[in-house]
Chain A
Amino acid sequence: MRNTWKVAKWEYKRNVKNKSFIISTFLTPVIILMFTFLPVLFSGSDDSGNEETMKVYIQDEVGVAPTVETLVNSQDSLAWDLEFTQEDQKSILSSIEENENQAFLSITEDSIESGVVEVYTSEEVTDSFFNQLQLLSQPIQAYQFEQLGLTDSQIQQVAAGVSFETLDATETSSENRVVEKSGLGESGHMVPGIVSLIVLFAIVLTGMMIFQSASQEKKEKVSEIVLSSLTPSDLMQGKIIGYFGVGLSQVFIWLGFGIPLAAWRIEDVAIVDNLLVPELLIMMLIAILGYLLFAALFVGFGSTVEDINSSSNFQGLLMMLPFLPLVFIQPILISPNGLAATIGSFIPFASPAVLILRMAMLEEWPWMEFGLAFVVLTLSVWGMIKLSGKIFEVGILLYGKNATPKEIWKWIKA
């Protein structure tokens, strides 16, 4: 074990001092920030479109005006200049025709009954006007229910259903944003979830560096010198722990910048309060298990490859495994407890990311299922370390060629 720490310390120092580590640590956040903010800059025209004021005339015959007004005023993003009018419809319509960005809504007893509100607009309207219009369905529907004589609790019940439909109706605009928003509102686990996912992502990436490290150890023929002082399992474990440290350092630097930045930019959510919850520990534990799984896989198979450029498709395929969870993201976002989510939780190479994502989205955790998935993941990590140990022991000393899957299988059986 002492030797393991020596190797870990060496690998850590060797990598952290490396220029490419320093560059990637400080460049990655810059690149991510660039990709987040560039689209906003490019879509500047959209923003200015939104900022243009929309003049909205409403002819209210039923008395929803106060509700509509409070609703519109409460929405900061809604640049509407609301005017309730009793003027003659024709004069208003002619004014609309002549001007830009104007609309006229007529809410009458008829429209309440039929559920169709007539909207007249000028030729030019702001881009998101028709989306924004959907907001009005709420007070109007509320009024509908009132007319039907429903009690308050009944209204609430039905209204809840309606708001769900509204969510679907806006799906075409930007599904992810809507769901994420609802997630942020609904689940207090979102912040620790996102942080854990970042940690998982970062340490699995450094886990991929182990593949190179093991392969390089072979290529540079250092392994035999090192193995004259310690056992292959010391060396392997040392590498896994060392690179874990490298990954953690990297992610702490990122989060050190990221969390204060996020706390400053996103005012709606109390980032720090939400982050430091007991659930974070569980998610971090899963992230660490995820790292161990991939690190073991990569150190084992890295030792079978001498020349990365000529490595076969087999080893190349393994490098794709960390991206397996991507397959599950879409289904999980739609339904965090759906079939795909459950399946993903039990596939070892997908489960760390899938579990953390689900935990982040769900307010109530299916403890039984998560517990089982956790056990499966832990067993997979244990098995993978054993398996890789066997591969590493033989592979690291095999010079001159890359091992074939058949050879590797033989080592595992031995």
Chain B
Amino acid sequence: MDKSKMTEMFFGPNHPGVPGNYGINYFYEGDTVVSAEPNPGHLHRGFEKLMEEREWIKNTPLVCRICVMEPDINEMVYAMGFEAIGKIDIPKRATYIRSIILELARIQAHIFSIGGNCGAIGLYTAMQWGVLTRDYILDLFEEITGGRVYHIYIRPGGVRHDIEDVTLQKILDLLNDLENNRMPEFQKLIFENPIAQKRWKNTAILNQEDALSLGVTGPALRATGLVHDVRKLIPYAAYEQVDFKVPSGQDGDAWTRLKLKKDEIFQSINIIRQLINNIPDGPVSLNLGNALKYKIPNGEAYVKIESSRGEYGYYIVSDGGLKPYRVHVRGTSTPLGLYGVESLLPGCRIEDVPIWAHSLGICPPEFDR
């Protein structure tokens, strides 16, 4: 490598094209990235250490803050880990409500992500529309849980309180609106837009071999032709009771990943409708005693669920005390945001770096947890 011909670029941590407080330092020659290195750590808040010093229940309002886009996902994995170690079976209605919340969360994350991807190529109208459409779902979350972004709703033993039938009807109305009005607009504005197609097709390609060796999951892996989805591989919540197909693509480029996200929105709508139609009656949480004195026997579990971008895992160790002994968070984009930058980014053109980062779903708070 002749470094005299290259220029070093500090892409982030303050750059509109970078998804969050995170930097990529790369050398480029002409228009092409030659070598790159991730620069994380700007957002480290010491969650894992903090969790060891708080009682089990007090971590529920904490974990949702690990990733802004996936608050419910974090609450769910944490609660699942607690229940797996304590061998607790939660009521059936609670599993249905959890699945409804998780699918709503997936839709809002996908819509926001599609908007973000449009922002990365300068299609700002679609970005604003994405934010707006997501807001309708946040309104629903506010009605169900009391919070817009962070919900603190899924907790060990079930969910915080029940969803009323009126709200379930509102969810169905919103889904109808999304399917019949919003998504066709997105289709016209984004997916039938020749300029957007040109920018996304054959850009930021991730092949199957690299994806598997890096441990990439979610839409990025499914865009390479596989149909792996944690909801099918290790079913959790109420996913065993619903009938759905996991969409997949072939080309592994940014365009395929975005189309998959769009398809998954329709799939999530389908799942929520099935769940709401079959939701059983009954209690929504277990009485585990004094919330500040929750205790589970010593043990460990690696639990994972499918977030909007792939596998989200927690490794939880309990020593039988009032607090977790150790919680390790495996964020979805950790392999891509760290090693992926070094191994996959070289060869990418400068103007495609934001597309690379956004379409692969890099979320810095996950590896700065």
Q: A and B bound?
A: no
Q: Which residues of A contact B (CB under 8 A)?
A: none
Using CB atoms and an 8 Å cutoff, list the residues of chain B in contact with chain A: none
